């Protein structure tokens, strides 16, 4: 094998698409998927590629420094692509400490382990930290986040991701660790866990349950199809400049309420229901505390330097996503049984 690449969080939503992209595209790489399989991790996401000879799964928790160091010593990865995280803002509001443990301590553990195995020769090595646009805080009605925007996180989730970004840069500046960072906007697509807005609404439309819209629904997000994010990670991992960060976005802003109406219209057509059926489920509920008004990415740098741009329009991506959920209702039923019900009942009391 030409290279060994260790991907953390590869059983999660975005990580599974990154693992698939790498395993299929780089037959000469050994891809190691390191994941703790929390509620968000699901090996079902990878069942189409798990038999391939260049793929290995390792179950491990990144908060366990000794275990992570021993895995790094065993496999001697040339590259790390770090996606493992607690990723849901609402969960960070009810349990911030879990976010500090995985997102901050877990990232520092990985940085320490990489530093340890690469200490004699950092040539050809790379630590790619996958982060979010939420570290930049909230925009008003206009403007965009660039790579130079000052960090201003508001939720425990974004504060923990901001902290991890700072540690990654600090290890570059202090120890010369070869790093790149990417800060991406909201993703959507197949395998998206139904605690996040789009898959939660798809699941609820299928079950005739209320579609909970926080506050007035005017909050704005920039949505990117997950496979386009995986393509961007591939490009930055291989061609990004050492020490640099790259913003990734969909050039695709939607107010939540408009997005949910578009989703309802597409679902009605695909389910052969009269127009307007799903939209009747829209229910305004109590707002999220500290809710960021608007995120929007200026992705000029990755476009100009690496030639990346989204490959699908939002209408196409949303249609592909709905079709995936309609043909994979067993996946949806599996992930929404058990613990999901108690999370849902607690989060949406009274909705």
Summarize as ranges the residues that interact with ligand NAD (CB under 6 A).
8-9, 11-15, 35-38, 40-41, 61-63, 83-87, 102, 106, 130, 132, 161, 184, 186-187, 193
The residues near 49 (Cβ < 8 Å, ≥ 6 apart) are: 19, 20, 23, 24, 55
**Strand 253-255's sheet: what is its strand order?**
186-188, 220-225, 253-255
Which partner in ligand TYD, ligand NAD, none is near 214 (CB below 5 to 8 A by kind)? ligand TYD
DSSP 65-120: HHHHHHHHHHH--SEEEE------HHHHHH-HHHHIIIIIIIHHHHHHHHHHHHTT
Q: How far apart are CA 294 and CA 60, in angstroms?
A: 35
Helical (H) or strand (E) element with 330: helix 329-336
What tokens appear for 279 in the block?
């939209």
* Cα angle for residues 195, 141, 278 (degrees, 5° grid): 40
Residues of span 205-264 touching ligand TYD by CB under 6 A:
212-214, 219, 221, 256
Smaller CB separation from ligand TYD, 20 or 221? 221
Could you tell which of ligand TYD, ligand NAD, none binds residue 62, using a CB distance below 5 to 8 A set by kind?
ligand NAD
Residue 268: name the closest of 351, 336, 192, 202 by CA.
Answer: 202
Comparison of 38 and 255: residue with beta carbon closer to ligand NAD: 38
* Catalytic one of 78, 86, 134, 165: 134
133 catalytically annotated: yes
The Cα 185–Cα 125 span in angstroms is: 26
Residue span 71-90 as binding mask against ligand TYD, x where in contact by CB under 6 A, dash where not: ------------------x-
Query: Which of ligand TYD, ligand NAD, none is residue 89 near (CB under 5 to 8 Å by kind)?
Result: ligand TYD
290 contacts 137 by C-beta, under 8 angstroms: no
Q: How far is the CB of 199 from ligand TYD (least distance, A)?
A: 9
Residues in 276-295 at the binding interface with ligand TYD, rule: CB under 6 A: 288
Active-site residue, from 35, 78, 86, 133: 133
- Is 268 annotated in the active site? no
Task: For residue 253, indicate whether it is catalytic.
Answer: no
Nearer to ligand TYD, 68 or 335 (CB): 335
Q: Could you list the residues that contact ligand TYD (CB under 6 A)?
A: 89, 186, 196-197, 200, 212-214, 219, 221, 256, 288
Residues assigned a catalytic role: 133-134, 157
């Amino acid at each position: 094998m030409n290279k060994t690449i260790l991907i953390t969080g590869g059983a999660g939503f975005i990580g599974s698409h990154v693992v698939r992209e790498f395993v299929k595209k780089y037959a000469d790489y050994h891809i190691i998927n390191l994941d703790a399989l929390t509620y968000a991790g699901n090996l079902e996401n990878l069942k189409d590629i798990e038999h391939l000879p260049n793929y290995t799964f390792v179950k491990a928790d990144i908060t366990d420094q000794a275990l992570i160091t021993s895995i790094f010593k065993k496999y001697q990865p040339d590259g790390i692509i770090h996606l493992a995280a607690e990723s849901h803002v609402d969960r960070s509001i009810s349990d911030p400490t879990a976010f500090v443990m995985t997102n901050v301590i877990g990232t520092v553990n990985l940085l320490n382990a990489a530093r340890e195995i690469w200490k004699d020769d950092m040539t050809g090595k790379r630590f790619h930290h996958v982060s979010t646009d939420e570290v930049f805080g909230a925009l008003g009605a206009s403007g965009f986040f660039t790579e130079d925007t000052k960090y201003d996180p508001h939720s425990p989730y974004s504060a923990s991701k901001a902290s991890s970004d700072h540690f990654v840069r600090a290890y570059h500046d202090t120890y010369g660790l070869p790093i790149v960072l990417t800060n991406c906007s909201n993703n959507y697509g197949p395998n998206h866990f139904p605690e996040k807005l789009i898959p939660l609404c798809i699941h609820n439309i299928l079950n005739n349950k209320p579609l909970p819209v926080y506050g007035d629904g005017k909050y704005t997000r920039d949505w990117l199809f997950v496979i386009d994010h995986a393509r961007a990670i591939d490009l930055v991992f291989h061609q990004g400049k050492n020490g640099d960060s790259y913003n990734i976005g969909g050039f695709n802003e939607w107010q939540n309420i408009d997005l949910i109406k578009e989703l309802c219209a597409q679902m009605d057509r695909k389910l052969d229901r009269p127009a307007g059926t799903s939209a009747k489920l829209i229910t305004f509920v109590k707002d999220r505390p500290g809710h960021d008004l608007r995120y929007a990415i200026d992705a000029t740098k990755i476009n100009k330097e690496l030639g990346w741009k989204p490959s699908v329009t939002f209408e196409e991506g949303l249609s592909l996503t709905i079709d995936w959920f309609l043909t994979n209702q067993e996946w949806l039923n599996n992930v929404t049984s058990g613990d999901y019900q108690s999370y849902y009942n607690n989060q949406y009391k009274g909705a």
